[in-house]
Structure 1
């Protein structure tokens, strides 16, 4: 069984990387939707499917921030196991996320290079040593 979410349900017009520079940012999407949805799928041992189609387009920084934070908080192996990105309209963006964002953010995770937070977010989840923990800003 899998859980499917559409970025278009968050916004038709995705913004830029951070909340401080744009409405509907990648940072906001991660903290308001993606983190909780992925944690739920992980706990249920289900795949989370993210459909990136049906928006007006993306700044690459939106996708980098949203999916990069996911890698930072859960690790590349866990994300690859429990996440599927689908896109018929933007296959190049899907490939960019997998081949560029994922390894770059795994490197950040390994270097303990914490992602920038530009507003106070509700508590979010992180996988640390096989256990789900809660983080806050």
Structure 2
């Protein structure tokens, strides 16, 4: 079992959606840390535990870009099967993130801007 503790391994102060919007964005987290650990967990057929506690909160845009963005890159069912979330501070985040993964490719979603 592999683990990412966002606060310890990335930042205590997660930012916005895109790298262009500042440091510690959801895009940066996904591209620089999450994607690599996800692929490693898939290759090992292991769960990747994402620990959400310890920081100063998460913007919706950070969570959607990090985890919804991962589900736009890889099959949603595989992302759901591989990632497992832990939050004692804010357990409602787990359901929220799973919704972003499930709905990552909804046609109603706005197109990504760059």
**The two structures share one fold, judged by TM-score above 0.5:** yes
Q: Which runs of 5+ in 1 are unaligned?
A: 119-137
Deviations 1:28-87 (A, max 9, x none): 000000000000000000000000111011111101100011111111110111110111
Partner of residue 58, structure 1 = 58
| Secondary structure, counterpart of 1:105 in structure 2 | coil
Structure with higher strand content: 1
Partners of 1:75 and 1:106 within 8 A in 2: no
TM-score w.r.t. structure 1 length? 0.75
Structure with higher helix content: 2
Q: Which runs of 5+ in 2 are unaligned?
A: none
Structure whose alpha-carbon radius of gyration is higher: 1
Partner of residue 101, structure 2 = 102
Q: How many residues align?
A: 112
Q: Quote the Cα distance in structure 2 between the aligned partners of 1:37 and 1:87.
A: 19
Q: Quote the Cα distance in structure 2 between the aligned partners of 1:97 and 1:78.
A: 15
- Superposition RMSD in Å: 1.8
Q: Quote the Cα distance in structure 1 between the aligned partners of 2:105 and 2:51.
A: 22
Q: 1:75 to 1:114 in 2, by over 3 A?
A: farther
Partners of 1:69 and 1:115 within 8 A in 2: no
TM-score w.r.t. structure 2 length? 0.89
Runs of 4+ in 1 over 3 A off after TM superposition: 113-116
